[in-house]
Amino acid sequence: MTTDTVLDALPPEHGEEHDVHHIRKTAMWVFLGSECIFFGSMISTFLLYRTTTGDGPGAELFNVPFTSASSFVLLMSSLTMVLAHHAFERHDTRQGRVWLSATALLGATFLAGQIFEFTEFVHSGLTLSTSPFGSSFYMLTGFHGAHVAIGVMMLTAMAILSTSGRLHHGRGLNVELVGLYWHFVDIVWIVIFTVVYLLQV
């Protein structure tokens, strides 16, 4: 069933299977644990500097209704990710591809919203150099955006691979692993949205 014969060579232990997919999922969870510290350090920095605005603008710039809308878009992408996963579980590649593409599209929409927002803020005088508040805001949301962008790239790659039937569990790049990553990135956004946008108001 799996392609990784190094692991096939191991006998099952206590009836449970040493399968490559289980190993990859373990690794993904471990990696996401590391990512928690990555974002945690940036969130801590932001909390330290959230009122250190100097002469520049601060949290009054935030357009909470707009960002709420783009947050909603990102949350919906978690739903479509689940649907994509279910479709592939049922071996319904066509529908799976539709949901994968929808997820990538929603992610891209969120990124577009972030670019729009950044442009607005720069025009209102908040840049990376304005104040420690500006530095930590752009770094935190920027790195989250980079995570979303990497996710969109992987989703797109998987959607393309699925057209030639080259998307399956045996590969490192598969729907369940990218799904885990994608949900994690969404959850991190909920924390960031709360800490950065809501707690300021």
Q: Which residues bind other proteins (CB under 8 A)?
A: 3-7, 9-11, 13, 18, 20, 22-24, 26-27, 30-31, 33-35, 37-38, 40-42, 45, 48-49, 52, 54, 127-132, 134-136, 138-139, 143, 157, 161, 166, 170-173
Q: Which residue, 18 or 183, has its beta carbon nearer to other proteins?
A: 18
Could you tell me the smallest distance in angstroms from the CB atom of residue 153 to other proteins?
Answer: 8
Q: Which residue, 42 or 70, has its beta carbon nearer to other proteins?
A: 42
Could you tell me the smallest distance in angstroms from the CB atom of residue 131 to other proteins?
Answer: 6
Could you tell me the smallest distance in angstroms from the CB atom of residue 79 to other proteins?
Answer: 26
Q: Which residue, 45 or 109, has its beta carbon nearer to other proteins?
A: 45
Q: Which residue, 71 or 159, has its beta carbon nearer to other proteins?
A: 159
- End-to-end CA gap in the chain: 53
Strand partners, 16: 13
Q: Which residue, 27 or 199, has its beta carbon nearer to other proteins?
A: 27
Could you tell me the smallest distance in angstroms from the CB atom of residue 3 to other proteins?
Answer: 4
Could you tell me the smallest distance in angstroms from the CB atom of residue 120 to other proteins?
Answer: 20
- 3-state SS track over the chain: CCCCHHHHCCCCECCECCCHHHHHHHHHHHHHHHHHHHHHHHHHHHHHHCCCCCCCCCHHHCCHHHHHHHHHHHHHHHHHHHHHHHHHHCCCHHHHHHHHHHHHHHHHHHHHHHHHHHHHHHHCCCCCCCCHHHHHHHHHHHHHHHHHHHHHHHHHHHHHHHHCCCCCCCCCCCHHHHHHHHHHHHHHHHHHHHHHHHCCC
Q: Which residue, 29 or 72, has its beta carbon nearer to other proteins?
A: 29
Could you tell me the smallest distance in angstroms from the CB atom of residue 65 to other proteins?
Answer: 29
